[in-house]
Amino acid sequence: MRLHDLKPAEGARRERKRVGRGIGSGHGKTSGRGQKGQKARSGGGVRPGFEGGQMPLTRRLPKRGFTNIFKKEYAIVNVGTLEERFEDGAVITPEALIESGII
């Protein structure tokens, strides 16, 4: 077997459908779009998510989440940093952490 002997598998390659090329082709005149209507026009069609005037799914479903007014802000403090900045036995308070520049 050589490179020029290779052929694609049966049915793997399909010819593209040439539409609007005469009535005898079977896909002439209206090119498979039917007669009139929005989808038959050039540039016709609806935007993604459009449901024909019905309230779209994206607007029917509720929004998610809220902002919690009682949320607590936490400052992450590395134990290694505490060891570097404070001496052994020192009392560590939030004020001391701010003073040393950790938070």
| Residue appearing with tokens 């050589």 | 2
* Weakest-pLDDT range from 51-60, 68-77, 94-103: 94-103
pLDDT digits (tens, 9 = 90+) for 12-59: 999 999 999 999 999 999 999 999 999 999 999 999 999 999 999 999
Tell me the average pLDDT across 82-102: 89
pTM, to two decimals? 0.46
DSSP state of 24: G
DSSP 3-state of 54: coil
Q: What angle do CA 56, 57, 60 make, to 5 degrees?
A: 90
pLDDT at 64 over 90: yes
pLDDT at 101: 87
